[in-house]
């Protein structure tokens, strides 16, 4: 089944809403606002590819956090499948955080 651009946009908004419910356990800010999500691609058949990183390659949730992302995004209505790519290029740094995340952490 092919989805319209509006339907894809709605799926994308729901994916972002779900990503904002997932937190890095060491930092009290969601992974989306932290800048750990580099890209979310959605095909016209609602196959989703997420490119994400971790705060460091030695992050204690290196296995569980990507699994949680995949599980929660797969549960979004109409999502057909989820491919998750974990990358460390570019390396995550504090500049990738949203203004909201920096405010939450008292950095601004």
Tens-digit pLDDT profile for residues 42-97: 999 999 999 999 988 888 888 899 999 999 999 999 999 999 999 999 999 999 99
Tokens at 79, concatenated: 């999502």
Mean pLDDT of 18-43: 94
pLDDT of amino acid 83: 98
Distance between CA 99 and CA 47 in Å, rounded? 30
pLDDT of amino acid 40: 98
Domain spans of the chain? 5-98
> Superfamily for 5-98?
Fe-S cluster assembly (FSCA) (3.30.300.130)
Please determine, for residue 25, whether its predicted confidence score (pLDDT) is greater than 90: no
Reading across the β-sheet that carries 37-42, which strands appear in turn? 37-42, 47-52, 81-86
């Amino acid at each position: 089944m092919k989805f319209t651009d509006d339907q894809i946009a709605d799926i994308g908004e729901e994916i972002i809403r779900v990503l904002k419910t997932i937190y890095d356990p060491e930092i009290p800010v969601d992974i989306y606002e932290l800048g750990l999500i580099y890209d979310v691609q959605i095909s016209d058949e609602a196959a989703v590819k997420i490119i994400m990183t971790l705060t460091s390659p030695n992050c204690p949730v290196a296995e569980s956090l990507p699994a949680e992302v995949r599980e929660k995004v797969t549960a979004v209505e109409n999502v057909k499948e989820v491919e998750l790519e974990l990358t460390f290029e570019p390396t995550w740094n504090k500049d990738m955080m949203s203004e909201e995340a920096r405010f939450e952490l008292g950095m601004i």
